[in-house]
Amino acid sequence: MMAFLVLFVLATLLVFHSYVLFPAHMKRLAQKQPAYPPLETWPSIEVLMAAYNEVAVIEAKVHSVLGGQYPADKLLLRVGSDASTDGTDERLAQLAQLYPGRLLVQRFEARTGKPNIINALATKAQSDLLVITDADALFEPDTLLELVKPFADAQVGGVQAHADIRITGDEAVARQEASYTAREMTIKAGEGSWGAVIGGFGAAYAIRRNLFTPVPKGFIVDDFFSFADLSRQGYRTVFQASARTSLGVSGDQRVQFRRKRRIGKGNFQNLRHFAGLLNPFTAIGYVFWSHKALRWLTPALLFVAWLSAGLGADAYGVLQWAFWGMNAALLLALTDLALRPLGISSGPLRFLSHFLLMNLALLLGFIDSLGSDEQVFWNNAPD
């Protein structure tokens, strides 16, 4: 019976560390950001972007990149249209006339996927830096000016931009995603103080072009791969809070679940690929375990905690309380999901249902990762 208590405590502590202790640690570190020497000259930049049916945002995106304050003679935007069918290509053709020689568009006739498109665009790049960004992440006028500043440090290989959330659709769902993203930015700021941001965030991040490694065929989460690969090469990855972007978040719960399941599969691809970085006695290993690996393993840890509590409930009162507490939390989460179509929701219940769906998506993503590495294409449209 003692084994059940030990298993419950261990599984619970690991989840508590990943979701509570580690974020609190990073929040403290985030208050002290590194200073960088001034750049001698502005580096040349090529912004790489994949776009699939983004006609609603593509014009604002292009203007936010090319119409900002960065020197025009040192900035190119390369866009790969992933067989778009909604007028994105036609709008890009019009925009290319406004920015001759600065907006370069390549259409992919068959669905190709963002990682493969970024790989293809990167082979054509000749600038000092690559900035990889999502189509719906809008830049501030000085975003690129701020994003490149840490590269004054020769040991910095990658820089992550800050992402603010634009809420669209179901406000309750989108606000939960916005809250989650805000916590992620704080964690990345803390990691950046160690030069150990583990995994980029797709809104916008910059890397030295000569350090870019093509994402392996079939991999889904290219932003994590690119930053983890920089760490593998021995370079620092940092966070630049002053380089701000705003990212649209769908309030459609089905879209969010599909996205998390797809990312879940990609997470486990990266976990296997970068297992060599998991030494917990290094900064990058501690961050990798705390921020990513333990979160990806949370569905299994929660099951171990629940099963151990149930099997040991007769011997230990604390396990009995824990077992019924976990069952009650699950019931409340399911209640929130059942009431949400009626427009009834509350903050605490929404948090529980968000946590439940996130871990269910991770579990399904893990199951998906056991199959083939066949490309899974992103679809941002509701069912």
* pLDDT tens-digit series, residues 219-240: 988 999 999 999 999 999 999 9
User: For residue 235, what is the DSSP state?
Assistant: -
Distance CA 316, CA 312 (A): 6
132 forms beta bridges with 48, 205
Crossing angle of helices 347-369 and 317-339, in 10° steps, is: 100
Q: Which tens digits make up the pLDDT trace of 207-222?
A: 999 999 999 988 988 9
Distance CA 160, CA 127 (A): 18
Question: If you average pLDDT over residues 48-74, what whole number do you get?
Answer: 96
- Mean pLDDT rounded to a whole number for the chain: 90
| pLDDT at res. 254 | 76
User: For residue 382, what is the DSSP state?
Assistant: -
Order of all β-strands in the sheet with 204-208: 103-108, 75-82, 45-51, 129-133, 204-208, 156-167, 236-249, 137-139
| pLDDT at res. 339 | 82
Q: Which residue has the higher pLDDT, 324 or 263?
A: 324
| DSSP secondary structure letters along 44-65 | PEEEEEEESS-TTTHHHHHHHH
The answer, yes or no, to whether residue 375 has pLDDT greater than 80, is: no
Strands (E), 168-268: 204-208, 236-249
| pLDDT at res. 370 | 85
Strands 156-167 and 75-82: unpaired
**pLDDT-wise least confident of 166-170, 298-302, 304-308:** 166-170
**pLDDT-wise least confident of 11-25, 126-140, 348-362:** 348-362
Percent residues over pLDDT 70 in the chain? 93
Dmax (CA) for the chain in angstroms is: 75
Percent residues over pLDDT 90 in the chain? 69
Distance CA 243, CA 295 (A): 27
Distance CA 179, CA 199 (A): 19
Q: Which tens digits make up the pLDDT trace of 176-200?
A: 777 888 899 999 999 999 999 998 9
**How sure is the predictor about 250, in pLDDT bands with cuts at 50, 70 and 90?**
low
Q: Are 265 and 181 in contact (CB under 8 A)?
A: no
The answer, yes or no, to whether residue 47 has pLDDT greater than 90, is: yes
Distance CA 65, CA 33 (A): 26
Q: Structure tokens of 199?
A: 């995994």
| pLDDT at res. 251 | 61
Distance CA 201, CA 223 (A): 6
Q: What are phi and psi of 219, to 5 degrees?
A: -70, 145
| pLDDT at res. 160 | 97
Q: What are phi and psi of 33, to 5 degrees?
A: -95, 145
Question: If you average pLDDT over residues 7-23, what whole number do you get?
Answer: 96
The answer, yes or no, to whether residue 294 has pLDDT greater than 50, is: yes
Q: Are 108 and 82 in contact (CB under 8 A)?
A: yes
The answer, yes or no, to whether residue 174 has pLDDT greater than 70, is: no
**How sure is the predictor about 383, in pLDDT bands with cuts at 50, 70 and 90?**
very low
Nearest to 34 by CA among 189, 234, 211: 189
Question: If you average pLDDT over residues 339-350, what whole number do you get?
Answer: 74
| pLDDT at res. 349 | 78
Q: Which residue has the higher pLDDT, 338 or 123?
A: 123
| pLDDT at res. 32 | 85
Question: If you average pLDDT over residues 286-307, what whole number do you get?
Answer: 96
Run of H or E including 156: strand 156-167
The answer, yes or no, to whether residue 35 has pLDDT greater than 50, is: yes
Question: If you average pLDDT over residues 87-106, what whole number do you get?
Answer: 95
| pLDDT at res. 82 | 93
The end-to-end CA distance of the chain, in Å, is 47
The answer, yes or no, to whether residue 88 has pLDDT greater than 80, is: yes
Whose tokens are 């992440």? That residue is 137
